[in-house]
Structure 1
Amino acid sequence: MSVPQIEELTIAAAHEGFRSGAFTARDLVDAYLDRIAAVDAAGPALNSIITIASDARDQADRLDAEFARTGDLTGPLHGVPVVVKDQIETADMPTSFGNVAAAEYLPAQDATAIAKLRDAGAIILGKTTLPDFATSWFSTSSRSGVTKNPYDLARDPGGSSSGSATAVAANLALVGIGEDTGGSIRLPASFCGLVGVRVTPGLISRAGMSSLVVPQDTAGPMTRTVEDAARLLDVLVGYDARDEFTGAVVVDGGGATYAESAAPRSVEGLRLGVLRQAFPDETDPDGAQAASVLETALATLADAGADLVEIEIDRLDEQVGFTSLYTTRSQQDMDAFVGARPDLPVQSMRAIVEAGEYHEKLDLLEAIVAGPLDPTDDPAYLERVLAQTAFQRQVLGIMAAHDLDAIVFPDSKLPAPTHADIFADRWTCLTYPTNTVIASQLLFPAITVPAGFTAHGLPVGLEMMSAPYSERALLGVAAAIEGAIGARRAPRLDTVEA
């Protein structure tokens, strides 16, 4: 076997390795499986992967045979090992949604996103950890316990796409897929030094992906580079008759591929709105460390020619709080998803809470179950929905008035929390100071890229958001910022201790 160098490998480099004969898809799968065994199941025991595909090597062998026969790659993701959040259904592996009661549930068919990945030549390497039904900013799960942050094993990788973040950051797979309702791709990506992309809801099919707030839900890439995220989007985005929201691709309008849009470029001339309201509290020691990283990153962008414009969103915290639909709508959407699956051993969210079949630290799940079964039973429901569109108009107006390419702010006001602080309730899901909900509740696309590291070696992410269906332009902004800051670095798992 030729052993490929998998640390920080990209899709383009993997394909070059296949074409040159330096290694095969089977070599690549073997290398990742060896690393998973060494650092996820043993050693640091990151605990990011729930299930490994039993036929991963067979998938690779078939691709290698086809490549040997034709001399051509089978698709844009030929031989790319992908890990997928266990919220997305796979017909060949159990899909637990992070919940102990659903641990052995085997779906009847692949989610549309999984089918698209397979059709493009990707190898679904395994399924990754998440909190029960994606209801936390942290990794706490009745199915898998907690997942470790590869940069500090005493800390959490963030949620709810916890396992995908840890696995991709630790080079256990080439790329990963997460899901984002309020920030579940971007928050863990920022805590683990990754690129994470939330698209405008509807561009990627949610068919076969458990719900949380249907109008806000979307799957998306978690990668080490903007280019690899764009390559995944070129495969994932598209209409699907199983998800009526995907009619949104008509609004998207097409044009250049996402990968072409993410080509390297300069930040010179970019106009970036800096949302100081979302920055850390510098009187908090942890916040001060994050703030220092962010100020250095902004100074780097300004020195490279970006035009930084200070902006303010009127009543930001009030608008974010009022437009949140978790405790109003989520129970209906989540119950509709499980109710449509008679083979899934979960009847409702209330049933698993009453049976105690969920992790004890899921205060959001408890709050959802305490809310109405029908969102219209909330007297303010209509006002909340209307307030969301008013919120959108205000922010779009700010972007237009200042001629902004994007609005930038940190994904979180703090670096990754310790597991000890989570279990001691220093923060709960409902009190943790994440900013990712801003773009989610605006229904805007957003991308996070690594901004740098604190003095304690913890990654800090910089989020950029823009108008709906502006993903191509936003990828260009992200690629430029990534190139100017250059903050991504792999964790040193050989030097950390459990």
Structure 2
Amino acid sequence: MSTSVPVQEISIQELLQAYRERRTTVRAVVEEYLGRIEKLDRSGPGLNSIVATSEEALTRADELDARFGESGELAGPLHGVVVAVKDNIDTVDMDTTCGSEALRGHRPERDAVAVARLRAAGAVIIAKTALPDFATSWFSYSSVSGETLNPHCLDHDPGGSSSGSAAAVAANLATVALGTDCGGSVRLPASFCNLVGIRSTPGVVPRTGTGFLVEFQDTVGPLARSVEDAVTVFDVIAGYDEGDDFSVAATMARPAVSYVASLGDRSVAGVRIGLVTNALGSEADPRSAAVNALTRRAAEDLRAAGAEVVDVEIPDLDEFLVDTSQYIACSRHDIDLYLKQRPALSSLRVADIVARGRYHRELDLLEAVSSGPEAPESDPDYTGRFVARDRFTRVILKVMDQHGLDALTYPATRIPAPSNEERKEWTVLTFPTNTLIASQALLPSVAVPAGFTDAGVPVGIELVGRPYSDAELFGWAAGYEKQSRHRHAPTL
């Protein structure tokens, strides 16, 4: 059977309905996605978002089709949903390189827990996606895959570190994708590529089988073209895992019903939201001014949907972002831990990889963390940054209490996706991203499209909630999305 259902911009529920009505098969859908990868990623515009495709994807599709043919029942909530996975999340059927040429050919012994849960729910893992070496940049370049392009504006960056996952979903090379988010690596590329990206309260989604930069701060999260699709995937991957000590958070955040059911009527009526004005960039910079205008319009969209939006400030915001950063103290240790835990990689160390020049030479943060301490506790500022982080979270929650707020909002970054030439203006730690706010305060956040600049560059806002308020936050994000509807497919 050849598909009569075009996959471009198809939602998970539309795809599942097409399977139920036998208007298509999983094989036909997978074949169409593989054709788009060949046409758009490996040729045509050459997006370069895909590192590898799975040789098992069509076999898996046939298994799902046979099972449905026999039982008439879908295999699970993600039956035949085609998922791309960031290449620092372990997969048994494809290599996992973490974007580093030093890890070429590494085939994990088992799937990451998040991947195993996707497969159990009926998903087809079609591909691994590009990322900068060890997820150490806001930008897309990698020693494994080179440059990934932004489908909406090919001469602009798609954002990092989940670069390939964002570009692939934006270009309809997969239904949804997984990324990882330490400082914003799901939400920033979601913003740059006109997508929804979820960062949960850390630990709600287990990280077992996943590379990370700062263990207590990192999360795994979906990138999708709608809030509902993102939350549908989140529902599957969230939950307690005894292999991840931090996943006790999943038992504290779990809603009374599923996360999807918690979306309710997708409303922000009566919700009180603080627009963080000192997270806006300078009006003197036309790039920031364009983002500010779209953010103010997003506030109006929220008001039109029934929310109350008030201007607030987070005291000493920029100072807190500096004082709570733990990359230099933690990331060398945490990257090395990932390597040590895998027999085939156990002799590798990130400092040696950098010393031998086996990395993309524009990755300044990777260079910095490779010379950091082997044990975080030996960094004289390590403990002080923990104390500052606790104070930062309390300051934010105090602002919310003082103003009677349910959530905060601000642009994901203070400028739009930079051109490839503009990227040279910043190091990783000086790039003006607001995604660090939720990350370093350990708060849940959802990035949602807010529109396009006059130059056609996507911009996203974040909605940020209190710890463990993930389910409520998803409903508010869906309410904003329903009012604003800024997702558009790129022209390729």
Which TM-score bucket, shorter chain as reference?
A: over 0.9
Partner of 1:455: 454
Match of 1:357, SS state, is coil
Q: How does 1:227-376 map to 2 (within 5 A)?
A: 227-344=228-345, 347-376=348-377
Distance in 2 (CA, whole Å) between partners of 1:439 and 1:61 is 42
Distance in 1 (CA, whole Å) between partners of 2:85 and 2:237 is 13
| Contact 2:340/2:346 (8 A) holds in 1 | no
| Contact 1:264/1:483 (8 A) holds in 2 | no
Query: Aligned partner of 1:440: which letter?
Result: S
Which segments of structure 1 move beyond 4 Å, counting only runs of 4 or more? none
Query: Aligned partner of 1:459: which letter?
Result: P
| Contact 1:278/1:435 (8 A) holds in 2 | yes
Shift of 1:372: 1.6
Please state if 1:492 is matched with 2:491: yes
Instruction: Among all aligned residue pairs of Structure 1 and Structure 2, give the percentage whose two residues are the same amino acid.
Output: 48
Partner of 2:218: 217
Partner of 1:404: 405
Shift of 1:303: 3.1
Partner of 2:393: 392
Q: How does 1:92-241 map to 2 (within 5 A)?
A: 92-241=93-242
Shift of 1:286: 1.4
Farther-moved stretch of structure 1 (76-85 vs 260-269) = 260-269
| Contact 2:305/2:479 (8 A) holds in 1 | no
Query: Aligned partner of 2:487: which letter?
Result: R
Residues paired across the two proteins, number:
491
Per-residue CA deviation, residues 370-403 of structure 1 (Å, 9 max, x unaligned), is 2222222222211110111111111112212222
Distance in 1 (CA, whole Å) between partners of 2:463 and 2:297 is 16
Per-residue CA deviation, residues 441-492 of structure 1 (Å, 9 max, x unaligned), is 0110100000111001111001011111111100011001111111111101
Match of 2:13, SS state, is helix
Shift of 1:30: 1.0
Shift of 1:257: 0.8
Query: Aligned partner of 1:173: which letter?
Result: A
Query: Aligned partner of 1:29: which letter?
Result: V
Distance in 2 (CA, whole Å) between partners of 1:274 and 1:462 is 10
Please state if 1:471 is matched with 2:470: yes
Per-residue CA deviation, residues 396-450 of structure 1 (Å, 9 max, x unaligned), is 122122221210000001111112233xx22221221001010000110100000
Distance in 1 (CA, whole Å) between partners of 2:281 and 2:261 is 34
| Contact 2:7/2:33 (8 A) holds in 1 | yes
Partner of 1:69: 70
Query: Aligned partner of 1:306: which letter?
Result: A
| Contact 1:186/1:197 (8 A) holds in 2 | yes
Per-residue CA deviation, residues 243-300 of structure 1 (Å, 9 max, x unaligned), is 1111222222431211112244333322111101111222112112222222222222
Partner of 2:434: 435
Match of 1:297, SS state, is helix
Distance in 2 (CA, whole Å) between partners of 1:255 and 1:400 is 25
| Contact 2:225/2:487 (8 A) holds in 1 | yes
Partner of 2:425: 426
| Contact 2:445/2:465 (8 A) holds in 1 | yes
Query: Aligned partner of 1:229: which letter?
Result: A
Partner of 1:496: none
Query: Aligned partner of 2:164: which letter?
Result: G
Distance in 1 (CA, whole Å) between partners of 2:368 and 2:470 is 33
Question: With structure 1 as the length reference, what TM-score do the two structures score?
Answer: 0.97
| Contact 1:85/1:177 (8 A) holds in 2 | yes
Match of 1:220, SS state, is strand
Shift of 1:211: 2.0
Match of 2:188, SS state, is helix
| Contact 2:148/2:163 (8 A) holds in 1 | yes
Q: How does 1:23-102 map to 2 (within 5 A)?
A: 23-102=24-103
Farther-moved stretch of structure 1 (20-29 vs 121-130) = 20-29
Shift of 1:109: 0.7
Change (3 A) 1:377 1:429: same
Query: Aligned partner of 1:138: which letter?
Result: F
Match of 1:273, SS state, is strand
| Contact 2:301/2:480 (8 A) holds in 1 | no
Distance in 2 (CA, whole Å) between partners of 1:5 and 1:342 is 43
Distance in 2 (CA, whole Å) between partners of 1:303 and 1:85 is 36
Match of 1:215, SS state, is coil
In structure 1, the gaps of 5 or more residues are 494-498
Distance in 1 (CA, whole Å) between partners of 2:369 and 2:40 is 35
Partner of 2:382: 381
Please state if 1:7 is matched with 2:5: no
Per-residue CA deviation, residues 28-66 of structure 1 (Å, 9 max, x unaligned), is 111111111110110000000000001211111110110
Distance in 2 (CA, whole Å) between partners of 1:2 and 1:70 is 21
| Contact 1:3/1:28 (8 A) holds in 2 | no
| Contact 1:227/1:263 (8 A) holds in 2 | no
Query: Aligned partner of 1:479: which letter?
Result: A
In structure 2, the gaps of 5 or more residues are none
Change (3 A) 1:304 1:247: closer
Farther-moved stretch of structure 1 (296-305 vs 15-24) = 296-305
Shift of 1:149: 0.2
Shift of 1:326: 0.3
